Amino acid sequence: MEETTEIVSDGGDEAAPAAVTMDVENGLIEEEKNMDGEVAPALISIHPFEKSVVVAVGSELRLFNLEGNCSVSLIDDPSGPSHSDAIRSINFGASGKFLASAGDDKLVKIWETSSWHCIHTVSADKRVSAVAISHSGRYVAFADKFGVVWLLGLDEDDAKQTKVDKKVVPILGHYCSIITRLEFSPYERFIASADRDFKIRITVFPKLPLKGAHEIQSFCLGHKDFVSCFAFACPPGCAHGFLFSGSGDSTVRLWDFISGLLLATCEVGAMVGSLQYNGTEDGYPPVTDLCVSSDGSIIAVAIQSLRGIVLLSCGFSDRTLSVAKVVTLEDNYFPTSMVLSSLTQRLWMVMGASNLPTLSATQLPTRIRVMSGFHKDPSDYNGHDPITLEDNEVPGGKKLLSELQGSFDVAMEEAALAAAAAAVKASMRNMLIKKEYAIERREMRKRNRNDRKLR
């Protein structure tokens, strides 16, 4: 029942009740904005040939050109809106020609990396939770929080200029389940999508995807909580490859994604042990991110509240998956996002968050760490751990760190990082839980919704 406020009039201003109703609704709108300002983890992505590094913090994209050793200012689409809310996904295409960004402002933006111009902006009806670029660079797929995956076509004209097919089409759906990750398989034969309802769907990607039927190849079923991340790997001698996935059930699993068969499970939370975590956990904490080299020889896992990363060993022939090494990072450093450079095998990590309620924008630290020295044979880790590069050893050096980490109050750094870790821990679950609203708030949302048609 809608909340109303009764005003006893003395015969003066008859517009007073309407004004009070407006004040109540404005208060609800302001409260709604505060509710929607969810904590968002900082993200990192790297050009496939390590030409540039991008960090997303809130609605801000920070870019550093490693070739020119300088920061780069993005040139936005003059005909479209700019990012105004938390960016939830950033992704380079396999060729490095394009970068896609998307998030809570319902925008998908496609950036051409040669000029760093935004060549197209899509306004979606719902918040966007994941984005991926096909290996050929001809398609951009994105998923919204209603569980629908949409596709946008890219092409080149005779002058080698990118043409965007402005018609965005839905290609598959997860039936009202938030999609947490989206990725094209090697050789672009399939598109994989994971959701909060514990499943991974493998869909055949047709030759004419904007017109063709999208056949389900398989479902990978076995996780007992939301699927947070996955990655493809194709070891030598394997025609189709394998799929690794991480989940809120604190496991990493290995799949034959063609058939949907579960091949191996590693209980990473249980195997690493509670002594490795910061504070107490209600059960074992979720896997938050997963990076796998193209041949599957390097498997790096981030676990919520773990001060470091876990390296796994996979036996593809005998279908085994186990913990090879736990690499500890400095106190209070918990990667919120990771990416492995396919060119140099360096692991880039970022820790940070936006919309922290207890900190102002100037107090938000974003911390980048880079790790190298990985071994393809896990037995080589005995006495030879991967190393975390010093600031002056990181590609781009202190200049890169200054540009991508942003400014912050040094005195507040430890407290801010601890606040970021706690907030990201809560936000991961909150993002995947369906919100319940009171009746008056539901009615207000209907009257003030700003959904726009895809264009």
Using the predicted structure, report yes or no on whether residue 94 has a pLDDT greater than 50. Answer: yes
| Higher-pLDDT residue of 249, 31 | 249
Q: What confidence score (pLDDT) does residue 356 get?
A: 63
pLDDT of residue 97: 94
**pLDDT of res. 285:** 86
Rounded to an integer, the average pLDDT of 192-206 is 94
Residue 219, pLDDT > 70, answer: yes
Q: pLDDT tier at 177 (50, 70, 90 boundaries)? A: confident
- Whether residue 387 is predicted with pLDDT greater than 60 in this model: the reply is yes
Say whether pLDDT at 69 is over 60.
yes
CATH level 3 topology of 74-221? Methylamine Dehydrogenase; Chain H (2.130.10)
pLDDT greater than 60 at residue 30: no
pLDDT for residue 271: 80
* pLDDT in the model for residue 202: 97
In this predicted structure, the answer to whether residue 275 has a pLDDT above a threshold of 60 is no
End-to-end CA distance of the chain: give it in Å, rounded: 36
* Residue-level pLDDT at 332: 72
Query: In the predicted model, what is the mean pLDDT of residues 78-107?
Result: 93
Q: What is the pLDDT of residue 290?
A: 96
Which pLDDT value is given to residue 449?
55
Q: Is 206 exposed, middle or buried (0-12, 13-18, 19+ CB in 10 A)?
A: middle
- Own/partner contacts of 111-118, CB < 8 Å, gap of 24 or more, are 111/74, 112/162, 113/47, 113/51, 113/52, 115/75, 116/63, 116/72, 116/73, 116/74, 116/75, 117/75, 117/77, 118/74, 118/75, 118/76, 118/77, 118/80
Tell me the average pLDDT of the chain. Answer: 82
pLDDT at 256 over 80: yes
**Rounded to the nearest 10 degrees, what angle do helices 439-448 and 16-36 cross at?**
90
* pLDDT per residue as tens digits for the range 109-133: 999 999 999 999 999 999 999 999 9
pLDDT of residue 408: 58
Domain ranges of the chain: 35-44+225-387+406-447, 74-221
Cα separation, 450 vs 445, whole angstroms:
9
| Highest mean pLDDT, choosing among 2-16, 269-283, 348-362, 365-379 | 365-379
